[in-house]
Copies of this chain bind each other. A is one copy, B any other.
Amino acid sequence: MEAVKHIHEDTVIISASKGIEQERLLTVSAIINEITAARGRSSQDRVFAREVIDKRPTAVTLAAKNQDIALLLQEVFNTDYFRVYTHSDVLGVELGGGFEKRYRHSLRICDGMGLGHSARAALITRGLSEITRLGESMGADKRTFSGLSGLGDLVLTCTGPLSRNYSVGVKLGQGQKLSGILSATKSIAEGVATASSAYGLSIKMGVEMPIVEQVYEVIYKEKNPADAVSTLLSRTLRSEF
């Protein structure tokens, strides 16, 4: 909030943040727009979402509604190890970038249950399908989710090792309840709130997100993870798209 007074008409604001605000379910660019607009400085065309990974060869998406600014920043940030692609779908890049985070619980629960790589692959693919439906309902471009922000992040998660034994999700998958896990470890419920905001968005937008819903049930309603898997597998048969 303090930074607002330093923002001029031609200031370019770059957001590299993921995640959704808990209470009102807003993305970071929406919050930036709200704050700058309240000061009479609309940043509608100056907000960016950018995926930064690390310094080895990589590719990122830089989204801006104003394509002149996107092209300018592409020139500024692109190097011989950091390839920058422009995109106009700010909302999609923001939502897609947080995809991995929102489905991390389901992956960990899956790991904790010992269901293996195929179940993981199915969870992730159908998860991307859910998030794409949600994004479309919010006005994002569905192609965005199969790009670097979305699929790219997802692949980064998948290339990591199976989840560590001490994570909350793995313990849930092993049959422990959230209350017991939290009191035993004194840890904060890392990412637990994320599961709640994803569920909140699916309700708000009226989009069917069965994985998000089951994760919510396991975390907040103490549903047995095996029953959650059964629920997912016994849904009405349908076509893939």
Task: Report A's interface with B, CB cutoff 8 A.
Answer: 53-54, 56-59, 61, 74-75, 78, 80-81, 83-88, 115-122, 124-126, 128-129, 132, 141, 143-148, 151-156, 158-160, 162, 229-230, 232-234, 237-241
CA distance A39 to B172 in the complex (A): 57
What is the chain B residue whose CB lies nearest that of A149?
B240
Of B121, B154, B234, B237, the residue contacting A53 (CB under 8 A) is B121
CB < 8 Å neighbour of A155 from B56, B88, B158: B158
Of all chain B residues, the one with the shortest Cβ separation from A70 is B239
Task: Give the distance in Å from the alpha carbon of A78 to the alpha carbon of B117 in the complex.
Answer: 19
A157 to B118, CA, bound (A): 10
Contact of A143 among B56, B87, B238, B241 (CB under 8 A): B241
For A119, the closest partner residue in chain B by CB is B57
Are A128 and B146 in contact (CB-based, < 8 A)?
A: yes
The residue among A85, A147, A155 with the most chain B CB atoms within 10 A of its own CB is: A155
The docked-state distance in angstroms from the alpha carbon of A159 to that of B240 is 22
Q: Are A84 and B237 in contact (CB under 8 A)?
A: yes
Q: In the complex, what's the smallest C-beta–C-beta distance from A158 to chain B, in angstroms?
A: 4
Given contacts A81-B233, A129-B147, are A238 and B58 in contact (CB under 8 A)?
A: no
Q: Contacts A56-B118, A83-B233, A158-B158 given; 12 further ones with Cβ under 8 A?
A: A53-B121, A59-B122, A59-B126, A86-B238, A87-B241, A117-B159, A120-B159, A121-B148, A121-B155, A147-B240, A155-B158, A159-B159
CA distance A229 to B119 in the complex (A): 33
> Of B53, B87, B121, B125, which is within 8 A of A239 by CB?
B87
Chain B residue at minimum C-beta to C-beta distance from A114 = B56
Closest chain B residue, CB of each to CB of A84: B237
CA distance A61 to B240 in the complex (A): 7
CB–CB B240/A83 < 8 A: no
